[in-house]
Structure 1
């Protein structure tokens, strides 16, 4: 795996069947769509991938199948966050044996912990990890907004980067400024709208949920930001804003983002939109709304993956 990690690394959804088992055919079609769209890596078992809601059996199947299908064409990053250290290490070890490239580690969720407790956790867990790891700042799901000191400690322990999904642009800038002297440490935005600022300020890429269905759009936006092509950046970001105001706005609960992405992929004929409990798929009327939005984007021509 080449460092620093950079580019568009989609937080891949987990294609499921109605019985909540892994949809192997859907997974193969999705990965073909993503890699054909030019993405620079694949991140599985994150928030968008519903990682914590999946059985350990399905998680392991997903890791193994993803690594087999990707076959080294792009790095595969595996989310290993769990409520217990034992659960984290079991998935980490499986990822290693399956051929994954790196792990993604967030604070253990459910019980609130302090910054010091997170630092202590990393000191215990990191030596037992079987692959390089990236830190994951996801305060909306973990109850902890990682301090700069904790990120610095993680880097000293061997972290190869951080994915920041706090939505706090000033914090993202602090991260970029703090680690700009290390050519091997990646600062990756979790908020896809921050992609241009991240790149132009010296960051490395984005874990963009919308890249699940429109990978080429986000790859083009990343490339335009690298070129500092402000006119192209504005044109492409307007299209990303349209995604946010249409596909992401169907439904009333925060889970609408995951449901919307899955429903969009179903509308595009890539996989079904079944979710892991406690989430459920969109109703038929909302599925129809998503399909109408997708068709308005003219995705078959404008955002077609380059196979």
Structure 2
């Protein structure tokens, strides 16, 4: 009974620590955030910074990805899946620790956004190394390369709409996506600052290239949130139009979907199936993007009529 009480209390604390629950994926709410808060508390006790936890995530995730090379050994793959999952939990914990200690920084957010990419790259390289003799090096590189590219694009699109939601609904400026990649600023002079900077610039370019929400629409939405007379009504309608869209973006573009697909396919010794499937399910992004564009247009038309009246 005491264990159930602890779980219940802990879960309530998880919910209390989340400012905007609308952007949380179900898996994160019941798993990543749940265990992430435990690691965040431990990190606080050990005087770790969120960036320290991010690099711990990298330290577990990259070796886990490399272990996927042994596709025929189910026990090694099981260890790999554990490490990759642990990396995902720590990726959640760094943000929770940042909010817990008030130590959030732009560089920390940039590091956090880079970690997942590096873990997935390790998974892709492991798959290429294993299947190069089966498919041929050029063929598997082409398949994995296409998978990695569309994976990055899908992730960028989802992250854009998630950040837009947070910025508009919470007035969370740190979530703001720039209008151009030229607005991205380098955070230091060391070599790793430059590497992370170029990764973020590339990621931002993908966001701005493949989203359907124009700069003009984004600016109009921000103006509506600053209009004291209609701000509340606009945000209510924005939530109605976009909350369900975030779920669809998460299902087809989210990190959890890709991570789970990689691990499941690898447990069967067929990460190559993931590469192919990841490219194939990109087709679903087309109707989702069209619906998103339609809803954005309808929302702004609704309030342009109200302003005219």
Normalising by the residue count of structure 2, what TM-score does the alignment of the two structures yield?
0.27
Larger Rg: 2
Structure with the larger strand share: 1
